Structure 1
Amino acid sequence: MDKPPRILIVPGWRDSGPGHWQSLWAAQLPGAERVVQDDWITPHRDAWVRRLEEHVLAHPEPVVIVAHSLGCIATTQIGPEAAERVAGALLVAPADPERRAQLIDFSPVPAAALPYRSVLVASSNDPFCPIRLAGAYARAWGSELVRLQNAGHVNVESGHGAWPLGLALLQSLTAGLAWSSTPADPFALQA
């Protein structure tokens, strides 16, 4: 029997709190695992990328990454050994590390195509990354771009709890991957 893909939840700067869709998904999706960083407030690229690579390489099954904000930027910076284990990535509301001094260690942002399928979700009014920059990221990374109208930073503050649209996008990334050992609908979150 095939193993399901490991879903890695990769929060951004300052982590994702209890009501954040990433926290809800991490608690309820089968095969989900949260990447916990040592320092959420003063992030360092090498440490964040190394921790993410450790999680990617820790399991034999394929990995699907679900990243938010600075987690998106860290995801694009993993090395080739880890990247070849990634089956797909949902990159939500990427950060612009040049906009905040605390995040500058993550620049420059890679401009090479990702070696796996990715969907980048961006908002027309994200205060942490202009939509034009998010579109440029999507083109550079070879990501499918999903543009949300007035969705802020796609977090609790902008009204995104369980975020059903995000689950549908995640399901599109995992379609065709080995789900035979999981329930019929692994994306049915408990109310």
Structure 2
Amino acid sequence: MATTLLVPGLDGGGEGHWLSWFEATIPDTRRMAPPDCKNLDLSEWSALVRWHLQRSEDPVWIVAHGFGCLAAVRAAVDCADRVEGALLVAPFDPDNMRLAWMLPEEPLGFPAAIVASTNDPHMRLSKAAFWAGYWSCEFVNAGRAGGIDPAAGFGPWPDGRAIFHELQRSPAAIVRQLAGREAPHLSRAI
């Protein structure tokens, strides 16, 4: 069984945030406490994500928001064998933050989806689509959804939960899950 690691953004994903709703409704979920929400040190943030990934006994699904998406991607490529997949919601634009050089330059190596909006203050939709293509992620246009946070009206977010479940049931995710398991009928034959 997989664990779900929630990686909040700068707002911490507190009470009333859709991340809190995910935490309350998805079994075996753990939330990462961000280092310092005013500190945009991607190395520090990604080291914390990596720490959580390496200490999980089970494979991990990542659900990240905002700046947490950048930290999750950076850490996850170092631990791709531990990651089942990732839902990256309203990521910050790494080019605007001069952090793109710290991110992977190839497909992520696990199923992933980027959810972005047409009026996100931290990343233009076209840039989010670019990163989705660059990393071979699914791309979801959420419409006029701002930063997909409580300020934009996102507390409970059933559409986000549906996107996450669809990602978990994608053919790429199922193949990845099966590849990590020993086939009982083959072990008996050997």
* TM-score interval for Structure 1 and Structure 2 normalised by the shorter chain: 0.7 to 0.9
Taking structure 1 as the reference length, the TM-score comes to 0.82
**2:120 equivalent in structure 1:** 126
Structure 1 residues without counterparts, runs of 5 or longer? 179-191
Matched, 1:57 2:54: yes
**2:83 equivalent in structure 1:** 86
Structure 2 residues without counterparts, runs of 5 or longer? 179-190
Output aligned runs, 1:14-25, within 5 Å.
Answer: 14-25=11-22
Overall identity of the aligned pairs, in %: 34
Taking structure 2 as the reference length, the TM-score comes to 0.83
Summarize deviations over 1:98-150 as a string: whole Å, max 9, x none. 43xxx54x443433210100011010111110011101100001000011111
**2:131 equivalent in structure 1:** 137
Secondary structure, aligned partner of 1:73: helix
Residue identity opposite 1:111 in structure 2: E
CA contact (8 A) 2:21 2:157 kept: no
Matched, 1:7 2:4: yes
Secondary structure, aligned partner of 2:139: strand
Answer 1 or 2: higher relative contact order, Cα 8 Å, separation at least 6. Answer: 1
> Which one has a bigger Cα radius of gyration?
2
**1:161 equivalent in structure 2:** 155
Structure (1 or 2) with the greater helix fraction: 2
Aligned length: 171
Pairwise CA distance, 1:81: 4.6
Distance 1:13 1:160, change over 3 A: same
Pairwise CA distance, 1:174: 2.5
CA distance in 2, matches of 1:163, 1:8: 17
**1:116 equivalent in structure 2:** 110
Pairwise CA distance, 1:14: 3.1
**1:181 equivalent in structure 2:** none
Secondary structure, aligned partner of 1:84: helix
CA distance in 1, matches of 2:86, 2:8: 13
Pairwise CA distance, 1:79: 5.8
CA contact (8 A) 1:88 1:116 kept: yes
CA distance in 2, matches of 1:79, 1:123: 24
Residue identity opposite 2:29 in structure 1: A
CA distance in 1, matches of 2:31, 2:167: 18
